[in-house]
Structure formats: structure tokens, C-alpha cells
Chain A
Amino acid sequence: MAQRAGVVVFPGTNCEHDVVEAFARLGVPAELVWHGARSLSGFDVVVLPGGFAHGDYLRPGAIARFSPVMSAVADFAAAGGPVVGICNGFQVLTEARLLPGALQKNKGLTFVCQVTELEVASDRSALTAGVEVGRRLRVPINHFEGNFTAAPEVLRALEDEGRVVLRYLDNPNGSAHDIAGVCNGPGNVVGLMPHPERATSELLGLTDGLVLLGALLASAGAPPAMVPA
């Protein structure tokens, strides 16, 4: 079980407090990590939350991938530590080449904020370990650029290797293969456009995010062995 979560904050990030609150509901303290930090030692799990890092200038995530903290994120991931990129965080991970593909403008060319129905497509990721494949989850999306795309051979590899983690049941943005979230080869780096932290409350009538975040925190053990910077 994770003891301590790190939530990265870039200038322009805005969902970090919600992620901290969601983790608190699951009993795990989370700390904010400024994008200038060069170390993630002591954390069991790292989250890149949603928002507009560096104002989404140039492309969402295009500038954030050069923030100093990202080399620590890459090292943490290389050592097997669980890293989850939510929405803007997913965009940052693709720009940093820690995940394949890219997130384009939504098919309808508008921003979309709504609850979507997802299906768990694979249980071999840090976010879905122990979750039944085929399970349906109601989780909100909130984005303008959530349309996942990748080269045909990359898409094929993702499917063949069970690296599509979550799929939309009613594709809201045109994503290839209805993909809502993917992971890397080892499964410890996961990116998803939906916001699980926004589905952790009975008061709000959405609790399926607890399934994903709970799986993440349960599967995260001691901090991975860090390679010195």
C-alpha cells in the first residue's frame, strides 16, 4: 500500500488540490511537488494532474516536458515506480515520450465537460491492477484536446500487448479505437484523459474514480530504487 504520493504542479496546473483530496479519502497523504524539483525520492506514487501547464502554450504539455521535475519523473518511471498522468498530465507524458501517441483537438472542436462511461480494457496497468476487465465506470472528462491518436503500428501494438487501459463506451472526442487511457510496456506509467479524482464522492454522486485510484494506491509498494541524479 502506498504511504506517500507526490502530485506534480506546473505553473497553470489546477487539479492538484482535487487529487490530494481524493487520495486523502483513500487514506494516503499526498504532497505537492513543484515543477522545479529535481528529486522524487520518498514517494511511492507520482501523479501529473490536470490543468493547463505553462498555459498550454505551443501544444498542451509541450513546454512542461522540459520542466526540471520531468527527468526525476523519467527516472522514477524507469525504476518501475507508478506514474499516472491525468488529462493534462497524460498530454505531458506523451510529449515527454514516456507514453506513445498524441492528444489532438476533440472531433467536435469544442471543449467538453461531462460524465462519460468507460470500460476497463486491461488489468495489467498500475491503475487497473486487480480490477475486473470489462467493468464499467462513470468518470468525468474535461478537455479540448483529448482525441487520442497514434501511428497505425503503434495502435496495433497497444492492442496486441493489452496496453489500452480504458475505453470510452460512447466516444465523446473521436479518439482512435475509443481509447481513453493507455500504459507503457511494463504497465507502471499510465495516462488517461478522464478525471478519476472527480469521481470520489458520494455527495457528488460519482464514486467510480475510487476503483482506479484505490487500485493504484494498493498496488504501489515501497518507493522504487532511485538512480542518483
Chain B
Amino acid sequence: MYAVMWSEHCSYKSSRRHLRRLPTQGPEVLVGPGENAGVIDAGDGIAVAIRIESHNHPSAIEPYQGAATGVGGIIRDIFTMGARPVALMDPLRFGPPGDARNRWVATGVVSGISGYGNAVGVPTVGGELEFASCYAGNPLVNVLCCGLLPKDRLVFGRAGGEGNLAVLLGSTTGRDGIGGVSVLASAAFTDDVEAEAAKRPNVQVGDPYEEKRLIEATLELLDKHLVFGIQDLGGAGLTCATSETASRGGVGMDVDVDAVPLREPGMEPFEIMTSESQERMLAIVVPADLDAVTEVCRRWEVRATVVGKVTTTGRLRILKGWDGDVLADVPAASLHEDAPNYDRPMRRPAWLDERLADDPARLPPPTSPSELANDLARLLADPSWAFRQYDHQLFLNTVVAPGADAAVLRLSAPGVRPSGGADVRGMALSTDGSPRWCALDPRAGTRLVVAESALNVACAGARPVALVNCLNFGNPEHPEVMWQLSEAIDGMAEACTALGIPVVGGNVSLYNESNGTDIDPTPVVGMLGLIDRLRPGVPTPAFVPGSRVVLLGPNGSGAVSLAGSRWAAERRGHLGGHLAALDLALHARLLALVAGLVDERLVDGVHDISDGGLGVALAEMMVKSGTGCRLGGIAGYAELFGEGPSRVLVSVPSVRFATVRERSSEAGVPATDLGVGGGDALVIDGLLELGLADALSSWHEALPAQFSVR
């Protein structure tokens, strides 16, 4: 029990002291980090629950089930708070698809998310898809879930009341997933084929149909106020659920392993207590309510079994029969709270100075306009290869589908209807990460990621209100990794404090390392924004014939850098240099400006400029709208492909142009008129001509071509 509870994955022993530096308070925060999900007060009696988690190691071994159970797990964290899960997002990172194993992992993961998410009935509305060689042995499968609840249905994973019953709901307990948190998630991968194959049983197996019934049964139990507290079973299974609920409630619990319904005979008590079999919840129930609970569960065909009793001793006792032997007797809080709190050594990587000094300005430039156009076309890739496999429409909430800067959803769900009407208010969600920026400078890079994520939701007309993070790093026993983690946390804290965005939850995934090589530091951010006024016609990335194309934000060569850019990495194999600087005060003004322009429909197209720089952003606006543009004032490839923060492209109808200029000027945000929308090519005078047809074909073919059967 201690081995699993004090594993890195469960106890955060290497990261806890650093995570304390993140800002977690805010006027709208109902529940911050430490519970199963963060919860934000969205007004109107409605709250939003949000969480992000990783399932990296299982997905490397068994991609379909690793991803499927990642989805199952994060959904349970949401409905265990009393929220109906309404949206999933999947930021995914794999090794380059030229390698067969990477293709196998990527297709398995996408299938797993599709298979589980669609069947369990939660739409997947966005995510990321990135390929880089550092993920070849260590795919990153992060999954975010968001849910809605009436504020008075909020419930915690807390036990209490002497004599109350601990009722195990859902699946039988089997041998799948034993040691998932320790053997898998808290250790690196090696070349030893047999040892790695032996890890396969440590991957959990999911059943979305069981989970769907569990969602409905749980929400019905909560609507009927039949439950004192409820906790989902995830990492470390029953050991975690029993010790955490007891510890949070300041009470003890007696658990009878013989009472636990088993999937196979002959299971040892330690297997029963550490199994990570999926689709199980632990409900704390007053004895007088047990019959009513059983009846609700019976109707939904959900198993409900009393496996424990709340005591006042503060101790977790594992028994073999209620009157049988005491197999374990430990203080409940010690499992949950007394894990070691390591202060691991940190050291700035020795290779970093050389990497920073490796100036991308000396890279050979494209030698001709057609090579430049080709470089740009090769950076385009339509992610619908993945998201077409996800139901992204269920619940009639998805106003802006996957593929834009942020997903836009109605603030409404079955059982959670705002009094003003389901179509009135909305929310925006984005997930973001940038391993290249963070490898060069974990602190500045993470600031840039937070800033970008906030800008993505602003492009949807939303005000950012909460952040969740998934910190994917290498082996914490390497001082360089600990330095990267600590720096990233500090960068996140700086950006969140300056922008007024509280961190309401997070997840740390360490030991993403294969054969001694760590992944690049990959902090991933999930951003929630609220939209007060949802109306048809939300602007998305698009050119419109006759509308002006305007760049909001800093412009000119100092605003961007080729360091850590997609162009430098993918077209020149180069990673070094210094990142462009971020002015957080300007960025905050830009967020408000863009959200206002979108909300008031002063623009008919909008696109955040992120990786791939201005060139990719322009090309994406063209392929998504089928309209080109004619621009000028962009000097060369460095301005086209350089990357930097606080930049947004807007398409502005000519009658609105003066207003947009005024608003930008009042906000103290530079605005550059680049040209006009129209035609069937992306034309930049003196620099580039990329035809719509060529761009579309590159865009559509990029992923299917890499993944086609060989």
C-alpha cells in the first residue's frame, strides 16, 4: 500500500514542494488543487469542473487501452465532483510518423480515445497533435475533461460519520493494472524487451459501457442526496480511495477485502487493494440510505457492495472478513499525506549555453520564392485526421468545432440548464504546449505557453478564468530535469499572476525517459474561458474577400525569433537560439482587446499566431476559408517563420476598420494593416505566392500520407 501510495505518480514526492509556488486563488474558484477536480463558479447557479491528467506510460505499452483508460480516468475525476462531463480534449505528442512503431502508437491512441470517449458519451472537442523525436519512446497522452454542475450538487471525496458505509460501485476488481502507478508511471523504459513486455498486465483495460452506467447512476445518487461523499478509484485503486476519503474527513475506515467483488478467483489481499481495475467509485453512505442507493444502482445495472465502514480511529484497517484477521492497520493520513517530500538536486543543463548561442540567423535561408512556398506548404497539416474520429457534437453544445484556436461550447448540459436559456452563455477551452520553447528556456517558454493559451480563448471571445496543467518531464533523479521542472513552475506562476488566472489543478508525469534519454520539458496547459454572450457567427480563422488583414501585437524583427520555431526544427533540423520576449502587461491588454473585438463581431476572421509563425497562420486562414489574400510589408523568411508571443491576425470588414484601429490604439496594442482578403492564393508582395489548391492539398494530405499502410 505504501509502495503505490508513495510512488511518484500518486504522491508527487519530487514535485510537491515546487508546485506550492503556483497561484491558486481567485474570486471565482470554488475548489482549487487537491481535490479530484478544480471547480469554477460560472454564475447563474452553475459551476464548471475541470481537470487534466496524463496516461503516458501505459500508452507506450498498450496504446489503445492506455489512451482509453486515460479518458475513463479523467472523466471519473469530473463526475465524482457531481459534474456531468461535457467535453474532452486530448493534447497528444508522438515520435515522428516515419517510424512504424510511432505510427502504431499514434493510431492506437487516437482509436482508444475515439473508442472510449464516443461510447461513454462525452464529446472530444479539441486537443493537440505534435510529432517530435524526443517522444519516440515516450508518447505523451494527456487528457482534459470539463463538466458542468448545479452548484448545490458539488460533492467531495471525503468520508465522515461513524458507522457510515463505504460502498464500492461499478466493475469487479481484477488483476489488471496492478502497479500501474509504481511499475509503469514512476519508472523509465529500457531496452530490455522481456522486462518491458512483462509490464503489459500493468496496463488497465477499460469498459466505456460500464462507465456510462456509472455516470448516470452517480449523478442520480447525487441528485437524490443519497451520498455523503464520493471518490473515484484511479491510481492505487482501493488503497487510494479508502485512505484519501478517510484522511480528508479526519476519520478512519475498516475495509473487508473478502467483501470486494472479484473478477477472478484466488486474488491476494494486496492485489485486491492495489488493483487499478477501471470504472469503480467509492461512495460514503449513511446506513439508512443504503436501500435507496442499491435501488438506483440496480436500475442502472451497476454493482454496489458494502466494502468498508467509517470509524473514528483515524486508522485504515484492512480485514479478511469483518471479524477476521487484521491484515494491515495504518494511520489513514500517513498514506495520503506523509509521503516523502523530496528536495531533489537541481542543475542547469550543461548543454544549454551552447544551445542558446547556436543562432538560427546563420541558417541557410530559402534560396527562391518557390522554395519558400514549399517550406510553408510542408508545415501545414490538417488535424482532422484525428478529430474526425471523435464525436465532437454530442449535447448540441459545440459552437466552434475542433480545428480553430479554441473550442467554443454552450454553457449547458443535460440536467444543468441555465435559467436564462441554454444558448445564452458559453465557454472556451484550449490546450497548449511547446517543448521546443521550453527546452531552450523552461521559465520563459512556460510563460509563453500560458500566454498563448489565454490568447487562444480570447480569440473565441472569452475571458480566461482558470488553468489546469499537465507537467510532462523526464527523470527527476536527473538534476537537469528537476531544474527544468522548477523553472517551468516559476514561469507558470509569473504568467498566471500577471494575467490573473488561478491554477485550479494539475498533474505531474515524471520518468518520461527511455534508455537514459529524457523528453524535452513539456508543460501542457489547459485553459478555461467564459463567454458572457454567445451568438451565431463566432469568428474563426478565415479570410473574407474585401476585408482588411490586420496584425495585432508587436511587429517587426524583434517581435519574433527563429529559435525553437517549427521552421528551424522541421526544415533545417535546428533547435538553438534565444526566444522572443514576452511583455505580460501588453499581453493582458491584447487579451481584452481581442475578446472584445470578437464579442462585438467587429472582425469576420481571427487567428492566433503560434507555432509556424505568421506564415502558417496566414496559410491556415486561407485553407479554412477557401479565400486567399494579398499582403505586403513582410520583409523576409525570418519574419514569416519567426515565432513570438502576443500576435493575432484579424480579418476586418472595411466598414469596421477605423473602429478596430481606434480600439487597438486605446488598448496600447500595435496594429499593422498587412493587406486585403481575396483571390485564390496567399500572396505577399516581393516574398511569396502559395496557391490555394497547393496549400489545400498539402494540408489535407500531410497526415494521411504519413499514416497510410505501407
Contacts and interface: CB of A to CB of B under 8 A. Distances in A.
Given A11-B300, A202-B536, A203-B536, A18 B394 contact: yes
Interface string A183-194: 000000000000
Given A14-B121, A52-B212, A203-B534, A197 B389 contact: no
A56 B120 CA distance: 11
A55 interface: yes
Nearest to A206: B393
14 contacts: A11-B212, A15-B394, A17-B395, A52-B209, A56-B119, A57-B209, A111-B118, A112-B389, A114-B388, A142-B118, A144-B118, A197-B396, A198-B396, A203-B534
B208 A17 contact: no
Most chain B Cβ neighbours within 10 Å, of A22, A57, A204:
A204
Interface size class of A (residues with CB under 8 A): 20 to 34
Given A203-B423, A203-B534, A110 B208 contact: no
A201 interface: yes
Contact of A204 (B114, B387, B388, B398): B398
A204 B119 contact: no
A113 B384 CA distance: 10
Nearest to A202: B536
A27 interface: no
A200 B390 CA distance: 21
Interface of A: 11-12, 14-15, 17-18, 21-22, 51-52, 54-57, 110-114, 140, 142, 144, 195, 197-198, 200-205
B601 interface: no
Nearest to B384: A114
B300 A113 contact: no
Interface in B306-352: none
B666 interface: no
B87 to A, nearest CB: 14
B317 to A, nearest CB: 36
Nearest to A109: B111
B630 interface: no
Given A12-B213, A201-B396, A203-B536, 6 more contacts: A55-B207, A110-B111, A111-B391, A113-B389, A113-B393, A198-B393
B159 interface: no
Nearest to B397: A204
Interface residues of B, number: 33
Contact of A18 (B213, B396, B534): B396
Contact of A12 (B212, B394, B423, B534): B212
A201 B208 CA distance: 29
Given A56-B119, A112-B389, A11 B114 contact: no
Nearest to B414: A17
B397 to A, nearest CB: 9
Contacts of B394: 14-15, 18, 142
B600 interface: no
B566 interface: no
A39 to B, nearest CB: 18
Contact of B209 (A55, A113, A198): A55
Interface in B111-125: 111, 114-115, 118-119, 121
A52 B121 contact: yes
A196 B463 CA distance: 33
A97 B304 CA distance: 36
Contacts of A51: 121
A57 B154 CA distance: 33
Nearest to A50: B394
B399 interface: yes
B410 interface: yes
Nearest to A205: B536
Contacts of A197: 396
A113 B388 contact: yes
B301 interface: yes
Nearest to B393: A198
B119 A52 contact: yes
Q: Which 4 A-B pairs have the closest CB atoms?
A: A55-B209, A14-B121, A17-B414, A111-B389
A142 B391 contact: yes
Most chain A Cβ neighbours within 10 Å, of B118, B213, B535:
B118
Nearest to B118: A111
A50 B508 CA distance: 37
B447 interface: no
A195 B482 CA distance: 50
Given A197-B396, A198-B396, A204-B396, A111 B114 contact: yes
B399 A204 contact: yes
Contacts of B391: 111, 113, 142
Contact of B410 (A14, A112, A203): A203
Contacts of A203: 399, 410, 423, 534-536
Nearest to B117: A111
A52 B393 contact: no
Contact of B208 (A52, A113, A114): A52
Interface string B378-413: 000000000111111111101100000000001000
Contacts of B535: 203
Nearest to A9: B216
Nearest to A51: B121
Contacts of B208: 52, 55
A200 B301 CA distance: 33
B385 to A, nearest CB: 9
A52 B216 CA distance: 14
B301 A11 contact: yes
Contacts of A201: 396, 423
Contacts of B119: 12, 52, 55-56
Interface string B90-114: 0000000000000000000001001
A113 B410 CA distance: 19
A21 B396 contact: yes
Contact of B395 (A18, A111, A142): A18
A24 to B, nearest CB: 10
Interface string B56-73: 000000000000000000
A138 to B, nearest CB: 13
A194 to B, nearest CB: 12
Contacts of A18: 394-396
B393 A142 contact: yes
A140 B393 contact: yes
